Structure 1
Amino acid sequence: MMPVRPGIAYDCDALVIGGGVVGLSTAYAITRAAPGTRVTVLEKETGPARHQTGRNSGVIHSGIYYRPGSLKARYAVRGAAELVKFCAEYDIAHAVTGKLIVATERAELPRLHALVQRGRENGIPVRELGPAQIAEYEPEVRGLAAIHVGTTGVCDFAGVARQLARASGAEIRYGTRVVRVDRRPERGVAVLTAAGDVVRGRALVNCAGLHCDEVARLTGDDPGMRIVPFRGEYYELARPELVRGLVYPVPDPAFPFLGVHLTRGIDSGVHVGPNAVPALAREGYGRRTVRPREVAGTVAWPGTWRMARRNWRYGAGELRRSVSKRAFAAEVRRLLPAVTRDDLVRAAAGVRAQAVLRDGTLVDDFLIREGPRAVHVLNAPSPAATACLPIGREVARRALAALGAP
């Protein structure tokens, strides 16, 4: 044990674990809300944004998909506008491009119309399009109907994370992996690192992403969920001229995934994907990356099996597209008929930290829980990067309350 003894000096006030965009935005928000508060960020990698933040489509989401009143809806709508201003202020690469959500089958039309209503309820301007109008935006895209969402964009989220790190005023320790946490509610926390160093703080903020449930258990709190990692596999489009902007399918509301979509990024390349398949490691970016201990932990969680029983048909389709480039290309051709297998060039994959409850529920909103002297961010789904500034303020508010606790 690493006791926090009376009279011993703290290294910081708020000790943040995780140097992704949520952890760094939290540090940034704390120092702005309470100047003089000492913040230390511990990140196990050698730089920021090495996992979910730096391995996604780079999309600034509008908030159109999310249930009105949910944290995702509130934070995405507000966060998109704030993020564009932040990028402009600090000269971070970004563009507000708008996007199309396209229905390719009649069965999707009711869901598309429901998105129109949801967008209006969330205060997002949308334009309904017929086939001829789709072609005005995207000449190579085919569909029965679509909606255009003008507030969607793209940006360099790794650049956002680097700027948050610089502007936060926090001490950031890269290459620092946490292996043990000793919390004494009346005295604070002490963290032991893999290098054998001890870092002491008055309160802990867990923004560990793919490892957030493990950090919560190290702290002594029961997170009530487990992270089940899903690998998202991407391709690059060899003929990027086929796509002008962002093109999405109509998502299935039963799943917290948006389906295979087309994204023209800030580098002018077009990313295609992702799908969503179970990963055999929390950082399982390659198919051959297997960590038996992590697989065993996933398999032992009752929610994993309940989730699998409910969603096996959906999962089977995702696995098929993972192992078959022909099947993946066929999925893309629903939106972009001109695509061939040769147009798809495999690109770097990402891994989503999906929180799963004991009953098998896929957590579909932000999940933030608190314990004595601790705040845990246990689910930060898309649009977490888009919503990083308001989410950072919310986590900071709870962290400052923990610092003020007797």
Structure 2
Amino acid sequence: MAADVVIVGAGIVGAACARALARAGARVTVLDRGAAAAATSAHGEGNLLVSDKGPGPELELAKLSLRRWVALADELADELGPRFPSVEHEVKGGLVVVTSADGLAGLRRFAEAQRASGVDAVEVTAEEARELEPDLASGVVGAVHYPQDAQLQPVAAAEALLASARRAGAEVRTGVEVTGPLLGADGALAGVVTSHGKVAADAVVVAAGPWSGEVAERLGSWIPVRPRRGMVLVTTPMPQRIRHKVYDGDYFAATQSAGAELQTSAVIESTRGGTVLIGSSREQVGFDERFRAEVPAEMARRAVAVFPFLARTPVMRSYLGFRPYMPDHLPVIGPDPARAGLWFATGHEGAGVGLAPATGDLLAAQLLGFEPPVDPRPYAADRRTLLDFRPLEIRS
């Protein structure tokens, strides 16, 4: 059916929702108070991963999205032509390394559970790991290779999805801030009020990343999204010496932690331009953008423990951004249970780039009444694992 849909947020998740909805026949308007793909999407590494996800709903969404990105990379290139920048999709594979017997035992258990859920997780010896990555530190005692892991350029990908959505009739308006709800005569949500006037719609989708909680509140609702800050270091260009996405065994624990304190793990990969991206850090400090030297110092220390040659490699810049953290580590994709016409596609934390295609498909299917590609219930806004975080005044 035709529908007028406003999407709040022009990052990669909002862009994927816009494309899916527009190509299914909806009349879509995307609003962003800043530039398109300029916030969270511009401050990540472009990871498309199954290696960091245990069995469960997030992994199911990731497996679907990995398949979708393979097709999307070709679809977008064909549709937009050679003059549009490539999304730089590369199935480079991931390598998770450990430096202790206990770490190896834990990694084996994790990989075994993933294999039972359809992930290609290949245990390799220390010697085999060095065949994959010759510059690995001597202390690495074993690893698991994930051939399905991939990477792309997140800003180029978001811009390509938005360009495709425009070709399907969507309108993208930047520099427009949502300030409140547009209510119909019956008090129901009928669109949004913005800094540039009113925009009527049958449905409003909040896809504003870590700012989704603020937008939801402005629209008379609630969602427990909080910002989780992360930093990435970028080296000077060099001949490529790192062939995969390589990270240490602490990365999964950091992604699943609920702690607000600083957590770091080694996450290292090369780009097509010859730079090396070094992550990662996680901390909950609100939207504080102040530089703290101890964060990149700890990240660098952990990276050198995996690839010692990096100790002699200059870092030319760093950047930080905010991920949309959810307390149960799952995104919300679906309708608001209390406000008809309000929908969410947010809370992906550091996996938004990887999960964007499946998120767009799932959101569009629910909103337009199609068969969903995966069971939508684990991503519902009123799921049991979020009930304890709801303010007392709005708990059912």
Partners of 1:180 and 1:192 within 8 A in 2: yes
The alignment status of 1:170 with 2:170, answered yes or no, reads yes
Secondary structure, counterpart of 1:364 in structure 2 = coil
1:4-403 map, 5 Å:
13-33=4-24, 35=25, 37-46=26-35, 48-61=36-49, 63-70=50-57, 72-91=58-77, 92=86, 93-142=88-137, 143-168=140-165, 169-184=169-184, 187-195=188-196, 197-223=197-223, 225-236=224-235, 239=238, 241-251=240-250, 253-256=252-255, 259-281=265-287, 284=288, 286-287=289-290, 321-322=294-295, 325=297, 327-340=298-311, 343-355=314-326, 362-368=327-333, 369-370=335-336, 371-400=339-368
Residue segments in structure 2 that go unaligned for 5+ positions in a row: 78-85, 257-263, 371-396
TM-score, structure 2 normalization: 0.79
Cα distance in structure 2, aligned partners of 1:240 and 1:348: 23
Larger mean CA deviation between 385-394 and 331-340 belongs to 331-340
Give the TM-score of the pair, scaled to structure 1. 0.77
Question: 1:104-135 deviations in whole A, cap 9, x for unaligned?
Answer: 12221122102321331231222211111111
Q: C-alpha distance in 2, partners of 1:58/1:97? A: 12
- Post-superposition shift, 1:97? 1.0
User: 2:286 and 2:351 mapped to 1: Cα distance?
Assistant: 24
The structure-2 alpha-carbon separation of the partners of 1:259 and 1:126, relative to structure 1 and needing over 3 Å to count, comes to same
Distance in 2 (alpha carbons) for counterparts of 1:396 and 1:89: 19
Residue deviations 1:330-373 (CA, integer Å, cap 9, x gap):
21122112331654343222221213xxxxxx331112351311
Deviations 1:260-306 (CA, angstroms, capped at 9, x unpaired): 2101123232101121233452xx5x425xxxxxxxxxxxxxxxxxx
Query: What is the alpha-carbon distance in structure 1 between the residues aligned to residue 247 and residue 236 of structure 2?
Result: 15
SS at match of 1:248: strand
Query: In structure 1, the residue corresponding to 2:235 is in which secondary structure?
Result: strand
Please give the secondary structure, in 2, of the residue aligned with 1:384: helix
Corresponding position of 1:311: none
Alignment check: 8 A CA contact 1:190 1:199 kept:
yes
Query: Take 1:159 and 1:190, find their aligned partners in 2: how far apart are those partners?
Result: 29
SS at match of 1:261: strand
**Secondary structure of the equivalent of 2:193?**
strand
Tell me the SS of whatever aligns to 2:191: strand
Q: Look up the equivalent residue of 1:54 and give its one-letter code.
A: A
**Aligned-partner SS, 1:41:** strand
- CA–CA separation in structure 2 for the residues paired with 1:65 and 1:342: 27
Per-residue deviation, residues 236-273 of structure 1 (Å, max 9, x unmatched): 26656442322111136544268221011232321011
Contact 2:17/2:364, CA 8 A, preserved across alignment: yes
- Would you say the 8 A contact 1:237–1:272 is kept in 2? no
Using the alignment, how far apart are the partners of 1:155 and 1:226 within structure 2?
A: 25
Letter in 2 for 1:116: A
CA contact (8 A) 1:213 1:378 kept: no
Q: 1:247 is paired with a residue of what secondary structure?
A: strand
Do 1:354 and 1:381's aligned partners in 2 also have CA atoms closer than 8 Å? Answer: yes
Contact 2:136 2:306 in 1 (8 A): yes
Alpha-carbon distance change, 148 to 226 in structure 1, aligned in 2, over 3 angstroms: closer
2: CA distance between counterparts of 1:191 and 1:89?
32
Identity %: 22
Letter in 2 for 1:397: A
State the partner residue of 1:294. Answer: none
Structure 1 consecutive aligned stretches of length 4 or more whose deviation exceeds 6 Å = none
- CA–CA distance in structure 1, aligned partners of residues 154 and 359 of structure 2: 15
Mark the runs of 5 or more structure 1 residues left unpaired by the alignment. 1-11, 289-318, 356-361
Change in 2 beyond 3 A, CA 1:76/1:266? farther
Instruction: Encode CA deviations 1:1-30: one digit per residue, 9 max, x unaligned.
Output: xxxxxxxxxxx7111111111111111111
- Structure 1 residues 383 and 226, CA gap change in structure 2 (3 angstroms): closer
Cα 1:220/1:270, change in 2 over 3 Å: same
Deviations 1:22-49 (CA, angstroms, capped at 9, x unpaired): 111111111233x2x2111111113x21
- What SS does the aligned partner of 1:53 have? helix
Residues 237 and 381 (structure 1 numbering): CA distance in 2 closer, same or farther, change over 3 Å?
Answer: same
CA 1:246/1:17 → structure 2, altered by over 3 Å: closer, same or farther?
Answer: same
* Alpha-carbon separation, structure 2, partners of 1:228 and 1:175: 21
1:354–1:379 contact (8 Å) kept in structure 2: yes
Per-residue CA distance 1:299-334 (angstroms, 9 max, x = gap): xxxxxxxxxxxxxxxxxxxx78416x2x43321122
Distance 2:130 2:313 in 1: 24
Offset, 1:230? 1.5
Which has the larger displacement, 171-180 or 248-257?
Answer: 248-257
How many residue pairs match? The answer is 344
How large is the Cα RMSD of the aligned pairs? Answer: 2.6
